[in-house]
Structure 1
Amino acid sequence: MSQYLQHFLYPSSLFASKEPHLVKTILGSCVAVCLWDSKLKIGGINHYMLPNWNGNDLASPKYGNIAIDKLIDRMLFLGSKIEDLQAKVFGGGEMMQTGSSKAKIGERNIRLAMLMLEERKIPVVASSTGGRKGRKIIFFTDSGEVRHKLLDKNKD
């Protein structure tokens, strides 16, 4: 692993590089979409908190519809073709017990990712989404490999 540059991906951000990176992030109800170009062997990842930008504040990658399009644009800028991209989707856990369907942020985040990727004809080749646990993921941008671990929020 020492040949990899490391990057920690914070919520509301994205990362893509031609250089091999090991990108780590922690997800609860947030979702991370990993895009990998099988021809150029480069990857990118986002980490968004809410599904849709409502047009009020800044159009930032805090919102899934912005984060996914910005990540696709970054991959195309690095030389990828949309038909060479594949996706892996992680996160979207329901971390809080609520009765309201509007509050199901994780579920809405997952649905948005799947819908946008399908619309752009980017196949989702792997995913680990939903449930009641958080996830720690490590994305290897040169191979597209993602290692993930479920986190037990009840452990101190």
Structure 2
Amino acid sequence: MDQISTHFLYPSALFASIEPHKVSTILGSCVAVCLYDPIAKIGGINHYMLPFWNGQGLASPKYGNIAIERLVEKMVSLGCKKNNIKAKVFGGGEVIDTNISQFHIGERNIKLALEMLDELRIPVVAKSVGGKLGRKIEYCTGTGEVKQRYIDRTISSKT
């Protein structure tokens, strides 16, 4: 049995490979978009922190509009056909309690992912977004399968 390579995806990064990988990442208000071409059997994932790049500094995959665009480009460069690509969207939890609307980053990150994928005509076949908890996901780029577990917010203290 072949050992599948693993990769930990940090915030502001993306990953795609022809070789199957098990990619894991941890999400709070960040969003991860997992893309998969079932014909080419190639997958990729991004992990972005904020919805839009404001034009200042580097156009990095820290921003959703850059991260999604770059991931699609990378998938196509690896041999995927854009019209075969399917998406799964995770994260965007409001892990910080606040009533200030600008801070609803998770909500804005989710909205950006769904609107952008719709514009790109990439169907979202699964999603687990929003709520109050963080998530740990493990994405298998060779099959498109995603395993998710919620991360509890309570911090146990020893007295």
TM-score (norm 1): 0.98
The percentage of counterpart residues that share the same residue type is 62
- Partner in structure 2 of residue 76 of structure 1: 76
- Partner in structure 2 of residue 25 of structure 1: 25
**Deviation for aligned residue 1:46:** 0.1
1:121 correspondence with 2:114: no
- Partner in structure 2 of residue 87 of structure 1: 87
Q: Which runs of 5+ in 1 are unaligned?
A: none
Task: Tell me how large the CA RMSD over aligned residues is.
Answer: 1.0
- Partner in structure 1 of residue 37 of structure 2: 37
**Deviation for aligned residue 1:89:** 0.2
Alpha carbons of 1:2 and 1:134: their partners in 2 closer, same or farther (altered >3 Å)? farther
| Matching of residues 1-156 of structure 1 within 5 Å | 3-156=3-156
**Deviation for aligned residue 1:2:** 5.9
Q: Can you list the C-alpha shifts for 1:14-44, whole angstroms capped at 9, x where unaligned?
A: 0000001000000000000000001011100
Aligned length: 156
Moved more, 111-120 or 97-106: 97-106
**Distance (Å, rounded) in 1 between the aligned partners of 2:65 and 2:97:** 25
**Distance (Å, rounded) in 2 between the aligned partners of 1:31 and 1:4:** 25
**Deviation for aligned residue 1:57:** 1.7
Question: Considering only CA atoms, is the larger Rg found in Structure 1 or Structure 2?
Answer: 2
**Distance (Å, rounded) in 1 between the aligned partners of 2:132 and 2:14:** 24
Q: Can you list the C-alpha shifts for 1:50-99, whole angstroms capped at 9, x where unaligned?
A: 00000112100000000000000000000111111000000000011111
Moved more, 1-10 or 34-43: 1-10
Q: Which runs of 4+ in 1 moved over 3 A?
A: none
**Distance (Å, rounded) in 2 between the aligned partners of 1:84 and 1:155:** 43
**Deviation for aligned residue 1:118:** 0.2
**Distance (Å, rounded) in 1 between the aligned partners of 2:2 and 2:99:** 46
- What code does the residue aligned with 2:4 have? Y
**Distance (Å, rounded) in 2 between the aligned partners of 1:37 and 1:51:** 24
**Deviation for aligned residue 1:3:** 2.2
Please give the secondary structure, in 2, of the residue aligned with 1:102: helix
**Distance (Å, rounded) in 2 between the aligned partners of 1:122 and 1:38:** 13
